Chain A
């Protein structure tokens, strides 16, 4: 009897102790249903979507460097850390290029889609609150589609037929989508922005998206599309009604090492606690970091004497400076909050609106209006008015002076049908690289990553790869 009691006690005691042993819930993750359940959780997901834009492979660094290193403003020094070499040298192939950006952009799209498609769950919020979150998510989805098309598609002007776009994703779905047409992509981007603008009613800029941020992006999208009238109208709306003002030209050094200035329409904030160390955007340029990418005389020579944006400016801003090794460096991304190379990416700012409008006007034959816009930018930079009437080339030069190193260069060349000409190339300072890429070269379009080709039989590679 005693034996049986012992046995019973041992067995029962243990069994009772582990009734709930098999139910263990994750402590730092939530199931999708719990993570998206009410206004607060959707707002948290929205911050998560912004966080996705901040990734190194996207606006954290790479997406701002690729269009520059592929252009004529900078070069990769021979003693380099092997970063962005293939981009500088145009050794583009499906195995080695911008896969991380492709994946990150679609990750951002998923984050936005989950908010857009579950917005009804925010029933506990006011209409304004709910609409604001929805509008921001729509903007983010539009931006990511647009940025994908900028890198992976031929310019809109070259045609919008089958296989010209990238896959449009409007819901969380595992699939094998083919490329949409570029026309469909732009239509979707405009539809998202059209839907977003009336919903964005809160004054949360510049670190979150406002209606004027959506209009500013709309202006850029329309310009890329060659819809110059819309581009002009949207830019005008932002300039006249947005309440933004250009930062003083003699204080550009402060402008580029701080964020939240009156000129900024949409800036992706990055605090000191979000530093990526040597992967901070600026550290690919700064000698204290990798210092691989340096400034060419091509861009230095483009500035007139006295230009606050050029070399040796009156204010001493040093947005381009000569380092002890005798080479020129980019001084726009020295750092913020005391952290070297840390940058809150200024994705949309007022100066671009003037230059979008100038470009749209000159393309519509309004040279006078375009000149006026260019002069606003020239005056801010401490220069006198342009002598005469600007041509498209003048506007694009001004755009390059204003936005050098800020991630526009090759996109502006290709969409205007211009070739890449590097005056400074292969002199011994640089890694050897092509000095000329024709405007119709297949290299202006990035190849679809091999990983996507391997998993998605319906997608077609860009021509030439």
Chain B
């Protein structure tokens, strides 16, 4: 800003001098990158107001004094160039792009700062890293890209909600996910659906519209988000038009997705037949009975249910983007259609999205911006509710001895025939196509911004934003299917509407005192109010499965609905000061009032202080030639987690109950007027080093975040009528180290870049209610919260193998200190103890990009190490006979006990199971570490001189693969799972191979 000021003054003076102009210089300005003309570039005679702007072809013509002078060529995003005129009359200039200028701005939510001035711990993922990756959800795209961000996919259903944890897990009962901010507005995220298993409203945003994703990690950045910042903040910035050349980009991409079986294999028909006969034999049945229960004839028609449930998925994306602008008006508009058919039958996701981002400068005083995004998604969800009738469970539950086609009719069994031997009474090949579970989601994100420049260095702006989400869900049960048979067919229709209104009033200014003191400041008043309403209806009794509407049901069975909401009224301020661009200080403060907080604690105050020291600017560093930058950063501050229930503090009676057609009421929540937000206090120390002409850049961060006042759903004695009560008592610490290393290994025509990041996090519980253990009811009572231990601690019985004498299972008993003592064959005598951690020791990613002329090849691996996964699926498909009539893992039929003395890993399989051998124990706890080739992309940009004749600026063709290779010991389909680390017949993520072309003209 100071430069602008000086320049303005200089121009004023210059204007006062009348100079003779008597000759003309002309020329063309082109881009070094691709040789294309640069329209809209400024050409100014240095020291004067004399200047022009290049035309559409990059040409300019300018009168200059006879004695020449210096021409200054400048354009946003390019390095400014000065040329001595001398006696030349034609001056062509090639401008190089200015990577520093492009990358130096860091979005911090309420403002932007230059990289140089930034003191906070942030990670930035740029559009180049996420564009064209064929995944519907932005959370999937940042996995492994940003240090300290642990992103996982609990389901491979297209459009499914993801789990994101930034710098560990800082809450036990309240929300653990980050806050999402889209173009400066706090946006709704997560799953609002009721009968659909998983749908993320963030999947409505087209990832290709995103310019950058910035992840705020330390208090210096998150304190600005006050009571909502403590789990970290993800800032999504969408693309905006740039002054200069207009571009239109058309993209087309098509791909296929394949099942990723991992180390997982189910038995085939003959194997399960033989195994089950052995189970019967072991259980004392005579051969005649065994022949009756599992006759040879069963092998005549066996069936592979897994192959029937999974298929080759398809992905297609078509998109047009246009952007451009001049000094007054800039625009970015896009339209896209994305469709993905999942690898599971009857699962798909479609998105249609339109965006318009407009910026207008009216004059020196007034500026305006408008962002409008409308998107519509259509999801078909085959896994709703993990029903037995879903193809997902059916694939593993259904025995291969049952063929889906009835030989008498030649058509699918419905599953309700007497001879159908699968206990679910369902044949998903028949029922899944007839029983669609769908949701349609319309989301409109609109933001209007009006800015008034009070002074050149002081402005006030007003932002108004509307986030509208309308979700229509429908669940249909055909009367001829098992799910529909009870009610003779049923239809559920649910509509859920979520409207969030935001108003921000922002005052921003900057001042320079003397030559060395630079100050900028920001004050914001923000109000946000969200209303969430739903209504639904269920009708039962359909004369035919072809009748699809509620009015064709015989009996209106249920009417449901709810309304909830929350509000925040916030004030915040931030001051940045630097001395001589060498010492930087930042302070911020935010006050939040929220409807969610108990009446005794309505307002919350948060703050942070931070400083950085650009050691490089010190005189003593001047001799260190190989070093380009060295910066030390320290921050300390607080932020909160208000992600608690909207009415969590109230003692409530709910009215969902009914008896005899009369409304009934029942206590639903215990009163807690003191209930309030959770608080995190965090310290961050960071070091940024850049050496050897910026070819090696190293970033290191240490952090220590202590979250206190944690809301605990403290389990209470059920004699109270409740099973838990919420209290602010817990305390947990996340501390860790993050390293980012970006190197340019080779430069020139052949370029090789490596980006590597790794993050260690250590999670320790510091305090609980009276420091008593909490056995986590949300984790099926298999996890424990214990002081001094990780929040991911598995607390289950330890498997002690198989008793060689009789083939029965053994578990360890424990003493009062939970040390293992002696084995027991009685599960109820076995003791629980901490046997593993669902949270990884470290996570990270590495990307190598090789480019030569127009070719580019990149490999991106991500890795997770040191987490244990409880594979609950195996309890059902490796049950030692308990699940007789189900299918089994191939391994279940191997290495089991046959005779006394056998030292084996599996008990003797018996009908009904062997002494509850499949009860939860470390038998089913596995190492969840993995290394995955997440993405490999090969692309080729056609030479520009070749395509420019055809009117193109760029043509890029590419092929890429997702999840092509995985290294893991995990026995299930896919080691990548939700942060709970619990497997139960998940929808696995597939392997995708796609081809695409981008045309820019």
Residues of A within 8 A of B (CB): 3, 6-7, 10-11, 14-15, 17-18, 21-24, 26-32, 34-36, 41, 43-52, 54, 78-82, 85, 89, 91, 93-95, 102-103, 106-107, 109-111, 113-114, 167, 169, 172-177, 207-208, 269, 271-275, 277-278, 280, 283, 287-292, 323-325, 339-341, 428, 431-433, 449-452, 454-456, 459, 465
Query: What residues of A have a CB within 8 angstroms of the CB of B859 in the complex?
Result: none
Contact flag A82-B883 (CB < 8 Å), given A31-B651, A275-B557: yes
For B665, B722, B883, B912, the residue with the greatest tally of chain A CB atoms inside 10 Å of its CB is B665
Taking a contact as CB atoms under 8 Å apart, the answer to whether A22 and B668 are in contact is no
Taking a contact as CB atoms under 8 Å apart, the answer to whether B912 and A89 are in contact is yes
Bound together, the chains give a CA A175 to CA B562 distance in angstroms of 32
A366 to chain B, nearest CB (A): 40
Taking a contact as CB atoms under 8 Å apart, the answer to whether B486 and A32 are in contact is no
Contact flag A29-B486 (CB < 8 Å), given A21-B529, A24-B595, A79-B885: no
A29 to chain B, nearest CB (A): 4
Taking a contact as CB atoms under 8 Å apart, the answer to whether B652 and A29 are in contact is yes
15 pairs of residues in contact across A and B, judged by CB atoms under 8 Å: A18-B503, A21-B527, A21-B569, A22-B569, A27-B563, A30-B655, A31-B650, A93-B828, A174-B670, A208-B660, A292-B423, A339-B487, A340-B485, A451-B781, A454-B773
Bound together, the chains give a CA A432 to CA B915 distance in angstroms of 11
Q: Does B575 contact A (CB under 8 A)?
A: no
Bound together, the chains give a CA A288 to CA B425 distance in angstroms of 8
For A91, A451, A455, the residue with the greatest tally of chain B CB atoms inside 10 Å of its CB is A455
B873 to chain A, nearest CB (A): 14
B822 to chain A, nearest CB (A): 19
Taking a contact as CB atoms under 8 Å apart, the answer to whether A29 and B725 are in contact is no
Query: What residues of B have a CB within 8 angstroms of the CB of A31 in the complex?
Result: 650-653, 671
Contact flag A106-B421 (CB < 8 Å), given A27-B563, A277-B487: no
Q: Mark B874-905, 1 if CB is under 8 A from A, else 0.
A: 00000000011100000000000000000000
B399 to chain A, nearest CB (A): 10
Instruction: Name the residue on A nearest B416 (C-beta).
Output: A288
Taking a contact as CB atoms under 8 Å apart, the answer to whether A81 and B423 are in contact is yes
Query: What residues of B have a CB within 8 angstroms of the CB of A173 in the complex?
Result: 720
For A3, A17, A52, A291, the residue with the greatest tally of chain B CB atoms inside 10 Å of its CB is A3
Taking a contact as CB atoms under 8 Å apart, the answer to whether B661 and A26 are in contact is no
Taking a contact as CB atoms under 8 Å apart, the answer to whether A272 and B667 are in contact is no
Query: What residues of A have a CB within 8 angstroms of the CB of B715 in the complex?
Result: 451, 454-455
A135 to chain B, nearest CB (A): 16
Query: What residues of B have a CB within 8 angstroms of the CB of A27 in the complex?
Result: 562-564
Taking a contact as CB atoms under 8 Å apart, the answer to whether B781 and A450 are in contact is yes
Bound together, the chains give a CA A289 to CA B950 distance in angstroms of 68
Q: Does B352 contact A (CB under 8 A)?
A: no
Query: What residues of A have a CB within 8 angstroms of the CB of B514 in the complex?
Result: none
Instruction: Name the residue on B nearest A107 (C-beta).
Output: B721
Query: What residues of B have a CB within 8 angstroms of the CB of A208 in the complex?
Result: 660
Taking a contact as CB atoms under 8 Å apart, the answer to whether A110 and B667 are in contact is yes
Q: Does B460 contact A (CB under 8 A)?
A: yes
A170 to chain B, nearest CB (A): 11
Taking a contact as CB atoms under 8 Å apart, the answer to whether A278 and B486 are in contact is yes
Instruction: Name the residue on A nearest B597 (C-beta).
Output: A22
Taking a contact as CB atoms under 8 Å apart, the answer to whether A273 and B664 are in contact is no
Taking a contact as CB atoms under 8 Å apart, the answer to whether A451 and B885 are in contact is no
Q: Does B1000 contact A (CB under 8 A)?
A: no
Q: Which of A24, A50, A78, A277 contacts B566 (CB 8 A)?
A: A24
Query: What residues of B have a CB within 8 angstroms of the CB of A280 in the complex?
Result: 486
Taking a contact as CB atoms under 8 Å apart, the answer to whether A174 and B725 are in contact is yes
Taking a contact as CB atoms under 8 Å apart, the answer to whether A26 and B462 are in contact is no
Q: Which of A22, A94, A169, A176 contacts B594 (CB 8 A)?
A: A22
Taking a contact as CB atoms under 8 Å apart, the answer to whether B527 and A6 are in contact is no
Taking a contact as CB atoms under 8 Å apart, the answer to whether B911 and A432 are in contact is yes
Q: Does B513 contact A (CB under 8 A)?
A: no
Taking a contact as CB atoms under 8 Å apart, the answer to whether B293 and A428 are in contact is yes
Q: Does B691 contact A (CB under 8 A)?
A: no
Query: What residues of A have a CB within 8 angstroms of the CB of B664 in the complex?
Result: 44-51
Q: Which of A10, A28, A45, A79 contacts B884 (CB 8 A)?
A: A79
Instruction: Name the residue on A nearest B915 (C-beta).
Output: A91
Query: What residues of A have a CB within 8 angstroms of the CB of B283 in the complex?
Result: 432
Query: What residues of A have a CB within 8 angstroms of the CB of B884 in the complex?
Result: 78-79
Query: What residues of B have a CB within 8 angstroms of the CB of A23 in the complex?
Result: 595
Q: Does B657 contact A (CB under 8 A)?
A: yes
Query: What residues of A have a CB within 8 angstroms of the CB of B289 in the complex?
Result: 428
Query: What residues of B have a CB within 8 angstroms of the CB of A291 in the complex?
Result: 425
Query: What residues of A have a CB within 8 angstroms of the CB of B388 in the complex?
Result: 81
Instruction: Name the residue on A nearest B558 (C-beta).
Output: A273
Contact flag A465-B671 (CB < 8 Å), given A14-B505, A44-B663, A288-B486: no
Taking a contact as CB atoms under 8 Å apart, the answer to whether B454 and A7 are in contact is yes
**Using a Cβ cutoff of 8 Å, how many contacts connect chains A and B?**
253
Q: Which of A272, A287, A292, A340 contacts B557 (CB 8 A)?
A: A272
Taking a contact as CB atoms under 8 Å apart, the answer to whether A324 and B418 are in contact is yes
Bound together, the chains give a CA A294 to CA B846 distance in angstroms of 59
Instruction: Name the residue on A nearest B455 (C-beta).
Output: A3
Q: Does B89 contact A (CB under 8 A)?
A: no
13 extra interface residue pairs, beta carbon distance < 8 Å, beyond A22-B567, A94-B828, A278-B486: A15-B525, A22-B569, A22-B594, A28-B563, A29-B655, A95-B919, A110-B721, A172-B721, A175-B717, A275-B557, A325-B418, A428-B285, A459-B717
Query: What residues of A have a CB within 8 angstroms of the CB of B423 in the complex?
Result: 79-81, 290, 292
Q: Which of B503, B718, B725 contacts A451 (CB 8 A)?
A: B718
Taking a contact as CB atoms under 8 Å apart, the answer to whether A3 and B719 are in contact is no
Taking a contact as CB atoms under 8 Å apart, the answer to whether B721 and A109 are in contact is yes
Query: What residues of A have a CB within 8 angstroms of the CB of B670 in the complex?
Result: 174
Q: Does B666 contact A (CB under 8 A)?
A: yes
Query: What residues of B have a CB within 8 angstroms of the CB of A95 in the complex?
Result: 781, 828, 919
Q: Nearest 9 A-B pairs (CB), nearest first?
A: A110-B721, A35-B653, A47-B664, A48-B664, A51-B657, A27-B563, A93-B828, A50-B659, A48-B666
B456 to chain A, nearest CB (A): 12
Instruction: Name the residue on B nearest A458 (C-beta).
Output: B717
Query: What residues of B have a CB within 8 angstroms of the CB of A29 in the complex?
Result: 647, 650, 652-655, 668-669
Query: What residues of B have a CB within 8 angstroms of the CB of A271 in the complex?
Result: 661
Of residues 411 to 452 in B, which have CB atoms within 8 Å of A's CB atoms?
Answer: 416, 418, 421, 423-425, 452
Taking a contact as CB atoms under 8 Å apart, the answer to whether A26 and B650 are in contact is yes
Contact flag A102-B647 (CB < 8 Å), given A48-B657, A81-B423, A432-B910: no
Q: Which of A51, A288, A428 contacts B485 (CB 8 A)?
A: A288
Taking a contact as CB atoms under 8 Å apart, the answer to whether B717 and A177 are in contact is yes
Q: Does B24 contact A (CB under 8 A)?
A: no
Bound together, the chains give a CA A134 to CA B313 distance in angstroms of 62
Of residues 461 to 504 in B, which have CB atoms within 8 Å of A's CB atoms?
Answer: 462, 485-487, 503
Taking a contact as CB atoms under 8 Å apart, the answer to whether B653 and A45 are in contact is yes
B655 to chain A, nearest CB (A): 6
Bound together, the chains give a CA A262 to CA B663 distance in angstroms of 26
For B283, B293, B652, B663, the residue with the greatest tally of chain A CB atoms inside 10 Å of its CB is B652
Q: Does B552 contact A (CB under 8 A)?
A: no
Query: What residues of A have a CB within 8 angstroms of the CB of B425 in the complex?
Result: 291
Taking a contact as CB atoms under 8 Å apart, the answer to whether A45 and B666 are in contact is yes
Query: What residues of A have a CB within 8 angstroms of the CB of B558 in the complex?
Result: 273
Query: What residues of B have a CB within 8 angstroms of the CB of A78 in the complex?
Result: 884-885, 911-912
Instruction: Name the residue on B nearest A6 (C-beta).
Output: B452
For B460, B660, B884, B916, the residue with the greatest tally of chain A CB atoms inside 10 Å of its CB is B660
Q: Does B775 contact A (CB under 8 A)?
A: yes
Q: Which of A24, A207, A452 contacts B646 (CB 8 A)?
A: A24
Contact flag A52-B719 (CB < 8 Å), given A45-B664, A288-B416, A341-B486: no
Q: Does B749 contact A (CB under 8 A)?
A: no
Bound together, the chains give a CA A91 to CA B917 distance in angstroms of 12
Bound together, the chains give a CA A275 to CA B558 distance in angstroms of 10
Q: Does B777 contact A (CB under 8 A)?
A: yes
Q: Does B662 contact A (CB under 8 A)?
A: yes
Instruction: Name the residue on A nearest B723 (C-beta).
Output: A103
Taking a contact as CB atoms under 8 Å apart, the answer to whether A18 and B569 are in contact is yes
Instruction: Name the residue on B nearest A23 (C-beta).
Output: B595
Query: What residues of A have a CB within 8 angstroms of the CB of B594 in the complex?
Result: 22
